[in-house]
Structure 1
Amino acid sequence: MNKLSLYLAASILALTTAAPVLAATPDELQRRVDDLEATVDALRSEIADIRKTPEFKPVPNFTSSKGDYSFKFRGQIAADAAVFDVKQGATDFNDGTQLRRARLGVDGTIEKDWAYRLEVDVGNASRDDSATGEIDVKDAYVQYKGIENTTITLGQHKTPNTLQQAYSSTDTLFVESPLFVEAFTNRTTAGGDYKAGVSAKYSDINWTATLGVFGENYSINGGGNSGGTATPTYKDEGWGPAARLTWAPVNGVKETLHLGASAYWRDTGGRSSSAIRFRTGPEVSVDSTRLVDTGNIAANDYSFVGGELAGQYGPLYLESEYGRTDVDRITGSNVSFDGGYVGASWVITGENREYKDGAFSRIKPKESFSLSKGGWGAWEIATRYSTLDLNDANIYGGKEDNYSLGLNWYPNNYLRFLVDYVHFDAKKSGVKTEGDAIVTRLGVIW
């Protein structure tokens, strides 16, 4: 076929294709133009998705152009070192180091309304106390956020108890939780921390309300209802409701006043013969020695109630809590234990904490540490008094008082260095243990 023939064929094809367009009404032409523009916009969006590179803060964070889907890695490392000086008592504490946490996880969103998170801990000291060789499941849940100001969570997540539990472990003022929080919300021996369940949280600018029902915790090692052991020693899990209510009558950028209350009630399930145990150490987890300990208490059920008061005024920060547990024993009279703490800090470099959803976050420095640019990060000094009484009726778990002083350095948003001095003073069954400890922590968050 010569060039003239090709030209004639192409011209005929063009005229044939154009004929319907030339014959179309103005409305039809406009509709076709609109369809063409919509197709072009869709193609542009798809190209943008293909070209879009993940955001790094400081790990890859993948988000679709419309924000319907997202995926990111998350995790933290907390490495501790501690030395002890025992002034009274026969306890020989371990001077040494510990990988307190080594968490790896992912979270993301699906069509905006749904979210998910899976996070495990491979740090030796964070494993379930009654298990060996365990990968410890922390968060493992799905959330629905399609209702305004409301989040419904199904799976393993934190029970809504105490201000300290509401914090991320990366945001706490000191290396370890106060005495009563560790004793009354320990997930292997009591009713708090990470447990499988369902909860609903309503959150407004000034207040939050959370209510849930929780069983016990998962365990990759099997037997989640037996605290992680390979073969459960009982068949029925403990269970019960938990709730927390917070109100911030003052909620400004630099001035905040927080009031809160939380509670739980738990049926002990199939382990009522050795149902619960309240205990804690010197607020230093490098050594696992417990200075106060009720031992196993046979109980039908038990409950907790606690109050919270916290606030900040610029770089000044205050937090305090009181908590009490009541135990319905199978034999003997019912018993109660209580404890509390008060802590304060001053950010030397002037930063303040962000307050959101009934909790305060860690300090984020105005300027990151940099020798070349002259930034020094954020510096904070803190102090805390903590007390716990585990004596009642014929239960002689002991009483402990701790005094702590801390220095915290935040080089940037993802690193922190903590140094705590802790003076512990405990007395159990007439035996007194008193001493000092210095503990340091290197924390990395992503």
Structure 2
Amino acid sequence: MTVLVSSFCEETCGQTPDAAPAWAARIDALEAEVAALRQVTDTEVVPARHESPWMEGCDSCLPQSSLASPSQYPSVKVTGFFQADAGWFHQDAANIVAVGDIQDGADFRRARLAATGDVAENVGYNVEFDFGFPGRPSFMDVWLEVRDTAWLGDVKIGHFRHPIGLGGLTSVKELTFIERGLPFAFLPFRQIGAMTSGADEEAGRTWALSGFRFPTDAFGGQIGDNGGYGLATRVTQVIAEDSNGGVVHIGGAYSLIDPSNDAVRYRSQPEFFIAETGGAAFVPAGIPSSVPPFVDTGVIATNKSHLFAAELATTSGSFHAQSEFIHAMVNRFGGSTVGFSGVSAQAGYILTGEHRPYNRKAGVLGRVVPNSNFGKCGYGAWEIAGRWSMLDLNDADIRGGRLNTSTLGLNWYLNKHAKFQFNYIHAFLDSPVNGDSDANIFAMRAQVDF
């Protein structure tokens, strides 16, 4: 080093070799100072903290160096999906009188874009909007989540699905049929609120408890001093399982709702839905521009309603099945308490041999993934399924009607992210005003998600 410095000084500074030792000494001193600084920064730095049960066992999480490494947060992943539906209707004369002459049609049932990710190791978020749902775009799952808290499990705050209903908590991307069963009509579903939840995946157990404002609009908003609150809770348990992934699942749920508008209303279409769009202007006057409700309680004045739910599910080999029962009790102003019920039972069999897995974190049946994708070397996965659903909205002087549906389904999974669904739905309507009637619906869906 001394030789190099001497040459440098002779060429650039005009100094003689006798001055080299002074330059070398200064450089050696600088090198020593840098080495000392490195030794300090490599020493473990433990920030001062107060003892707390929240910090037990966290010494390994504390920073090991004061030199900050580049952060991997916030992270972001863009996701989305769409469902394009088409439906054809055949009604008998009595059904046309009861609900109107329903037109054949096509629509984007859902068209969603979302951004999801983490802002820290234990804090995640999701921001999802639907461009096919009324509101256009509407808020879907918009929330932040703090995971693995000391006593509360995972804590979620925002706009999301609340914990009641096996069908309601199954992702719409993973439904066996085009729509959820008729008991779905009772659910508070997405509202703005907070939820604590957890899962013991090894034991096959989940739990959740949420509080929310009710009812919210398509953008998650809710304003009102007169009530406007609700709670929901759900527990599930795997009671039997085998070495091949087969399980038997049971669950129960409860929800209490105090609506801000002092009213509730339950109604439902026959498991197929086409939303009213701008093109409805071309439908002749008096003709329904969407699938109308077949059963409807009308507005019921109340300050409190209760939902009780029970569920059963199983998956074994290529077979899977699930059922649920939901009962609603409404405490009316100036009248007796009324009760309404919904039940559904469904089963499916995957003809190509795949297994529908069980989602132990959510306590629902998961996604069918083909063993071989559709293409030169495969045909994807094919599934047949059947379902019966019933919704009874008659009690005391509330005569909302009774609806039964029988559905046959054929699903073609091209790959993990794309599928076609074909449903034949036979609806039996018992209307207190118009008597019995029937409708046949042929429906299909194309879906892709990413």
Match of 2:252 in 1: 261
- Cα RMSD over matched residues? 3.0
Indicate conservation of the 8 Å contact 1:88/1:432, yes or no. Answer: no
Match of 2:212 in 1: 214
Alpha-carbon distance change, 69 to 354 in structure 1, aligned in 2, over 3 angstroms:
farther
1:242-261 equivalent positions in 2, closer than 5 A:
242-251=232-241, 253-261=244-252
Indicate conservation of the 8 Å contact 2:115/2:127, yes or no. Answer: yes
Match of 2:282 in 1: none
Q: Does 1:411 align with 2:422?
A: no
Q: Does 1:204 align with 2:190?
A: no
Aligned with residue 109 of structure 1, among 107, 118, 123: 118
Distance in 2, Cα, partners of 1:23 & 1:306: 71
Alpha-carbon distance change, 431 to 253 in structure 1, aligned in 2, over 3 angstroms:
same
Match of 1:3 in 2: 11
Over residues 358-393 of structure 1, what are the superposed CA-to-partner deviations in whole Å (9 max), with x where a residue is unaligned? Answer: 11222112222222xx12222111110111111111
Match of 2:440 in 1: 436
Match of 1:13 in 2: 23
Query: Secondary structure at 2:300's aligned position in 1?
Result: coil
Aligned with residue 278 of structure 1, among 242, 252, 266: 266
Match of 1:71 in 2: 76
Distance in 2, Cα, partners of 1:351 & 1:393: 48
Over residues 317-342 of structure 1, what are the superposed CA-to-partner deviations in whole Å (9 max), with x where a residue is unaligned? Answer: 01001110001000221110111011
Over residues 391-410 of structure 1, what are the superposed CA-to-partner deviations in whole Å (9 max), with x where a residue is unaligned? Answer: 11111111111100111111
The 4+ residue runs of structure 1 with deviation greater than 6 A are 20-24, 27-30
Alpha-carbon distance change, 282 to 39 in structure 1, aligned in 2, over 3 angstroms:
closer
Alpha-carbon distance change, 220 to 379 in structure 1, aligned in 2, over 3 angstroms:
closer
Distance in 2, Cα, partners of 1:370 & 1:361: 24
Indicate conservation of the 8 Å contact 2:130/2:136, yes or no. Answer: no
Match of 1:58 in 2: none
Match of 1:52 in 2: none
Query: Secondary structure at 2:265's aligned position in 1?
Result: coil
Alpha-carbon distance, 1:432 to partner:
2.2
Alpha-carbon distance, 1:95 to partner:
0.3
1:317-336 equivalent positions in 2, closer than 5 A:
317-336=320-339
| Deviation larger for 317-326 or 212-221 | 212-221
Quick check: which has more Rg, 1 or 2?
2
Distance in 2, Cα, partners of 1:258 & 1:411: 28
Query: Secondary structure at 2:26's aligned position in 1?
Result: helix
Match of 1:83 in 2: 88
| Deviation larger for 278-287 or 349-358 | 349-358
Query: Secondary structure at 1:16's aligned position in 2?
Result: helix
Indicate conservation of the 8 Å contact 2:370/2:414, yes or no. Answer: yes
Query: Secondary structure at 2:413's aligned position in 1?
Result: strand
Distance in 2, Cα, partners of 1:423 & 1:23: 85
1:389-404 equivalent positions in 2, closer than 5 A:
389-404=392-407
Query: Secondary structure at 2:447's aligned position in 1?
Result: strand
Indicate conservation of the 8 Å contact 1:134/1:221, yes or no. Answer: no
Alpha-carbon distance change, 180 to 212 in structure 1, aligned in 2, over 3 angstroms:
same
Q: Does 1:359 align with 2:349?
A: no
Match of 1:162 in 2: 165
Among the aligned pairs, what percent are the same residue?
30
Indicate conservation of the 8 Å contact 2:249/2:314, yes or no. Answer: yes
- Structure 1 residue identity aligned to 2:245: K
Q: Which runs of 5+ in 1 are unaligned?
A: 50-63, 128-132, 186-191, 227-233
Distance in 1, Cα, partners of 2:106 & 2:15: 83
Alpha-carbon distance change, 2 to 13 in structure 1, aligned in 2, over 3 angstroms:
closer
Query: Secondary structure at 1:142's aligned position in 2?
Result: strand
1:224-243 equivalent positions in 2, closer than 5 A:
224-225=221-222, 236=226, 238-243=228-233
Alpha-carbon distance, 1:225 to partner:
3.1
Distance in 2, Cα, partners of 1:6 & 1:355: 81
Match of 2:346 in 1: 343
1:23-38 equivalent positions in 2, closer than 5 A:
31=39
Could you state the TM-score of these two structures normalised by the residue count of structure 2?
0.80
Distance in 1, Cα, partners of 2:207 & 2:317: 26
- Structure 1 residue identity aligned to 2:106: T
Distance in 1, Cα, partners of 2:410 & 2:364: 21
Query: Secondary structure at 1:340's aligned position in 2?
Result: strand
Distance in 2, Cα, partners of 1:363 & 1:6: 80
Match of 2:146 in 1: 144
Could you state the TM-score of these two structures normalised by the residue count of structure 1?
0.81
- Structure 2 residue identity aligned to 1:245: V
Match of 2:191 in 1: 195
Distance in 1, Cα, partners of 2:379 & 2:447: 17
Over residues 179-200 of structure 1, what are the superposed CA-to-partner deviations in whole Å (9 max), with x where a residue is unaligned? Answer: 121x201xxxxxx110011110
Query: Secondary structure at 2:304's aligned position in 1?
Result: strand
Distance in 2, Cα, partners of 1:402 & 1:278: 17
Indicate conservation of the 8 Å contact 2:214/2:259, yes or no. Answer: no
Alpha-carbon distance, 1:201 to partner:
0.1
Alpha-carbon distance, 1:103 to partner:
1.1
Alpha-carbon distance change, 392 to 104 in structure 1, aligned in 2, over 3 angstroms:
same
